[in-house]
Amino acid sequence: MGFVGTKNNKLFIGFTYHKERIRIYLKVDDTPKNRKLAEMQLSKVDSEIELENLGLKRADLASIFPDHPKFAAKDKPAKEEDQTKYMTVAEYFPEWLGRKIHITKNSVRTWKSFYKNYIEPSIGDIKLCEVTEDHLLRMLERMRLNLKNSVINKKLQNIESMFRELHEDGVIDSNPFRKIKKLRNEPTDINPFTEDELKTLLKGFKLQHPHYYNFISFLAFTGCRPNEAIGLKWNRIDWENKKILIREGYVLGEATNLKTASSIRDIDMNDALLSLLKSQKKISLGKSDHVFINMRSKVINWANFFQKYHEVLGLMGLKKRPPYQLRHTFASMAIKNGEDVMWVSRTLGHSNLKTTLSIYARYIPNKDRQDGSKIGNLHASLRSSK
């Protein structure tokens, strides 16, 4: 028996014929009416296959799917061939990307940049129907000269998705990515600040950019991703239960969904964070819905803050490293100071404990608490230091 399924809210019919799993994409929305029609088509498919299995006749799937190249009758006049397959990758990719209305502005920007720098120079002038596994392997070798395997795996997902859809829609005969395996990810390389370095960084912001002192402290004391901290609003602060509710991000001028389902989380508000947020209320509450704002009472522009951050590193004689290392700083300090690793994992928004352990295992001492009080005491001392 086959089944009616849905992908990206579009219906498809799935069934097995001659030991081959087949999906027919109907290119119609998943509505009650369309689903009923799809189920009627599926019933015909099941009947035809059953009659063939009984030896009564050959399944006439061409009569059910006359336009599908796999079942088109050999004696029927050929329909006009879909010319999409003859488009080059450079011609088709922007068109395909433009139809992906569900992706964020930041994702579109990064996809376009990656495509321009790596994909277009390698396979941009090749027709979709002529792209082979060898082309892709040579493209991968080009990427590995400058990029980590983990970055390549992540960035290739969109172009692989494009070829998979082309194959599923019958535009190309086979998916050239079908035998391309993901590259082995390297261990995550982290470079967190030491306690003394973090104390120096916070002191530098207090002296040079006091308006952002609470923001830089918040990044270091919560392990939040930058876009989560920038997107934090006052209505997400639960003063009564002492929780910070992480529900959205903010990238390129717009609110965004969080990275994963596990990123939606509640962060415990220890005394240091409570004091920090009370201080921030005097700066931004009533001026903006957002907790952290710039000097003009607008949402923080990450690119501008990034410049200030590196300026402080230079002035304070600190080794250069990206602000994202503050997330690793929070985690490594919390674990080193005896906080329970599961608590740290939940606070970071990791999907599982394995991810946390794979990055921070070397910082684990004997653990006996799980409420964040130990790291909270450390955070308080870092802010109180002169």
Write down the pLDDT at residue 148: 85
Residues 309 and 330 in one domain: yes
What is the pTM (predicted TM-score) of this model? 0.63
Write down the pLDDT at residue 126: 94
244 has which bridge partners? 237, 267
Write down the pLDDT at residue 59: 84
Of 78, 107, 135, which closes a domain? 78
Residue 179 included in any domain:
no
Write down the pLDDT at residue 332: 95
Q: What is the DSSP string of 152-182?
A: HHHHTHHHHHHHHHHHHTTSSSS-TTTTPPP
306-316 mean pLDDT: 97
Would you say 348 and 223 are in contact if contact means Cβ atoms under 8 Å apart? yes
Distance CA 175, CA 165 (A): 9
pLDDT, tens only, 324-358: 999 999 999 999 999 999 999 999 999 999 999 98
Q: Which of 311, 326, 322 is nearest to 228 (CA)?
A: 326
Distance CA 161, CA 178 (A): 11
Residue 17 included in any domain:
yes
Residues 309 and 353 in one domain: yes
Residues 124 and 260 in one domain: no
> Binning pLDDT at 50, 70 and 90, where does residue 385 land?
low
On the question of pLDDT at 370 being above 60, the answer is no
Show contacts of 133-140: CB within 8 Å, 24+ apart.
133/176, 133/179, 133/180, 135/176, 136/176, 136/177, 136/180, 137/180, 140/180, 140/183
- Tally of domains within the chain: 3
> Binning pLDDT at 50, 70 and 90, where does residue 366 land?
low
Among 81-85, 124-128, 263-267, 355-359, whose mean pLDDT is lowest? 81-85
On the question of pLDDT at 306 being above 60, the answer is yes
Residues 376 and 246 in one domain: yes
On the question of pLDDT at 73 being above 60, the answer is no
Residue 264 included in any domain:
yes
Residues 38 and 109 in one domain: no
365-380 mean pLDDT: 67
Write down the pLDDT at residue 360: 92
Would you say 342 and 353 are in contact if contact means Cβ atoms under 8 Å apart? yes
> Binning pLDDT at 50, 70 and 90, where does residue 386 land?
low
Average pLDDT, whole number, for the chain?
88
Q: Which domain holds residue 338?
A: 195-384
Residue 177 included in any domain:
no
Residues 216 and 351 in one domain: yes
Would you say 186 and 263 are in contact if contact means Cβ atoms under 8 Å apart? no
Write down the pLDDT at residue 8: 78
SS3 per residue for 218-246: HHHHHCCCHHHHHHCEHHHEECCCCEEEE
Residue 173 included in any domain:
no
pLDDT, tens only, 241-251: 999 999 999 88
**CATH at residue 215:** 1.10.443.10
Residue 187 included in any domain:
no
